[in-house]
Structure 1
Amino acid sequence: MKHSKLFTTAVVAAVAGGLLLAATQVSAHAIWFAQRSKQLAMIYGVGADDLDAVKRLPLVTGSKGYNASWQEVPVTLKANGPIVTVDSDEPLTAVTAVMDYGVWARAKDGEFYKKTREEMPDAVMVEHNYKYGVFLNSLTAEVPLLAGQVLQIVPVGPIPELYGKPAKFKVLFNGKPQAGVQFLHDYVNDPDQTPQVTDANGEVSLDIRNQGLNVLAAIYIGPTDDKAKYDHIEHRATLSFILPHKPE
C-alpha cells in the first residue's frame, strides 16, 4: 500500500509538470526593459527575438515610474520609431509595465487562435496571458510590492555588481511568496534553459549571469477567474537590471 501511494504521488507530479510545461509553451514571449541608443525601452519578445513592441503598445494597461523614495513619478511609454521608449522628466529608480495579452486557444493541430473556450470548445488548452515587467536602476534598493505587478520578482538583499556572484530572489504572487514558480535566470541569452523552481518561501538562489543587462523571468500558471472562457491564467514577469562595466 505504501508503494502504491508513492507511485500515485509520482504520477500526479509528472502529469502536473507536463501540464505546466505545455501551458508555458503557449505564450513564450515576455516584456522587459533594456537600453536602446541611451534610452530605456520596453521590449517585447523572447531571447534575441526583439519583436514589434509598438504594435503591442495598445495592450499595455499600465506603466509606472518610481523615484529613490519609491514615490510614483510620471512616466509615459511612447512609440519612438520601431521601438517603445520610456519618457520621464525625473530620475527613475524603477519603471514597471503591465500587458494584458488576452485569451489564446491551442487547437489540436498545434496552432494558436485568439479565441475563448466558448468559441473553441474542442481546444487542447485555453489561457489568459498577462505580462509584467520591472526595471531597476539601483542595485541596492530594497524593492517593495509595486502596483499592478500581480507576479513580481524582488531581490533579497542588494544585487551584486559583478557577474558570477551569488544572489537570491523572491517571487511574489498577489503580494505573497509563491512556491512552484518556474524561474529563468537569463531570459535573453538562454531562453530555453531548464528553469529553476521557487522553494516554499518563493525563493531561488543563482549566480548573476551577465556583466551588463540581466533579465530574470518568472512564469506562474494561476487559476482561472472565468472557467467558461479560459482554463487558467499565465502570469509571466521579468526583472531587468544592468551591472556596470569598468570605466572606459
Structure 2
Amino acid sequence: MKFSKLVAAAAIAAGTFAVSSAQAHAIWFAQRATQLSLIYGVGADDLDMLKRVPLLNNYAAYDAGYKPVPVKLRPAGPLVLVDVDGPSTVLTADMDYGYWSKTADGQWHKKGRDEVPAAVVSEHTRKYTVAIRGPLTAPIPVLPNQVLQIVPVGTALPDLLDKPMTVRVLYEGKPVAGAIVQNDYINDPDNPGMRTAADGTATIKVRNQGFNVLAATYNGPTDNAAKTDRVVHLATLSFTLPHAPE
C-alpha cells in the first residue's frame, strides 16, 4: 500500500487513541536497526508513529550549510522510517497534536473547552524536534516551523557524558525565559528539569555516552480563547556521543 493511502487510513484512527497526559509525549529521530526513524513516545515507550503521521505539519533535512536536502517518510509496520537523499547535518519535524481538555476525574479528551465546558484545563499541544546528525560547522539557526527550538550555544558538542552543555531555548525565534529543560527525556522523563534564564539559556550535564534526547517545554498564550487556556509547546533536541573504539 502506498504511503499516501496509509496516511489516509491513519487519519481516521488519529482521533481515537487516548493518552494519559496531552503534553507528556514528544517526537524525535532515532536509529532503529540501522534505520533512521521518526519516533513518538515518552521515556522508553515508543508508540505507534504511523497513527500520528496525519498530525505532522512539516519535516525536513538540512546539510552542513543549513540548505534543504530532499527527505521522505516511509512506513514499516508501526515505524515511520526516514529516507534522506544526500548527506544531512540536521533533521526537523513538527506536529500539531490538537486541542485537549482535562476533566475533574483526571481524564483527557481530544476536544476544546467549547466542547468540554467543565474542564479543569484546556490546551492546544504542539510538538517539535531537531536532530543533529553530523558535525556542526556553524551554529544552528532558527529553523522553519520550529516555534519552540532548542539550540546548542556554539558548535562544539561535549564528547563525554557528565560534561556541561549550554543550550538556548527559542520561542518564535527569540530567547525565552522560564522554559523547562530536561537533560534526558528517554531515561528520566519525569525529572523536573531546570528553567531557562533571562537569555533563554540553561546549562545541563550530558547524561549518556551514546544517544541523548533533551526536551524543552513552554506554555505560550492561547491561540483560541474559546477552546483553550494555553498552547503547550514541547521541543526536543537529539544527538549522539561517540563510544570508545572497539
> Fold conserved (TM > 0.5)?
yes
Match of 2:59 among 43, 57, 63: 63
Matches within 5 A, 1:121-200: 121-141=117-137, 142-157=139-154, 158-200=156-198
Counterparts of 1:26 and 1:87, CA distance in 2: 29
Counterparts of 1:91 and 1:81, CA distance in 2: 26
Match of 1:40 among 36, 43, 50: 36
Match of 1:106 among 87, 102, 108: 102
CA gap 1:82/1:26 in 2 versus in 1, 3 angstroms: closer
SS in 2 for 1:204: strand
Q: Deviations over 1:136-161 (max 9, x none)?
A: 01343421110000000000021111
Larger Rg: 1
Counterparts of 1:88 and 1:194, CA distance in 2: 35
SS in 1 for 2:53: helix
Counterparts of 2:87 and 2:132, CA distance in 1: 12
SS in 1 for 2:51: helix
Q: Does structure 2 retain, via aligned residues, the 8 Å contact 1:104–1:113?
A: yes
The one-letter amino acid of 2:30's match is A
2:130 is equivalent to residue 119 of structure 1:
no
Counterparts of 2:134 and 2:84, CA distance in 1: 17
Tell me the residue number matched to 1:4. Answer: none
Deviating above 3 A after TM superposition, structure 1's stretches of 4 or more consecutive aligned residues are none
The one-letter amino acid of 1:80's match is A
Matches within 5 A, 1:60-99: 60-99=56-95
Q: Deviations over 1:3-48 (max 9, x none)?
A: xxxxxxxxxxxxxxxxxxxxxx542000011111111111111001
Give, in angstroms, the shift of residue 216 of structure 1. 0.2
Q: Does structure 1 retain, via aligned residues, the 8 Å contact 2:36–2:82?
A: yes
Q: Does structure 1 retain, via aligned residues, the 8 Å contact 2:64–2:136?
A: no
Structure 1: segments with no counterpart, 5+ residues: 1-24
SS in 2 for 1:56: helix
Q: Deviations over 1:165-199 (max 9, x none)?
A: 11100000000000000110000000011210000
Tell me the residue number matched to 1:14. Answer: none
Tell me the residue number matched to 2:205. Answer: 207
SS in 2 for 1:127: strand
| Equivalent residue pairs, number | 224
Counterparts of 2:161 and 2:109, CA distance in 1: 41
The one-letter amino acid of 1:210's match is N
Indicate the percent of aligned positions where both proteins have the same amino acid: 53
Q: Which has the higher helix share?
A: 1
2:227 is equivalent to residue 229 of structure 1:
yes
What is the Cα-based RMSD across aligned positions, in Å?
1.1
TM-score if structure 2 supplies the norm length? 0.89
Counterparts of 1:212 and 1:139, CA distance in 2: 15
Q: Does structure 2 retain, via aligned residues, the 8 Å contact 1:139–1:160?
A: no
Q: Deviations over 1:66-119 (max 9, x none)?
A: 011110111112212221111112111011000110000101111011111111
Counterparts of 1:26 and 1:71, CA distance in 2: 33
Structure 2: segments with no counterpart, 5+ residues: 1-20
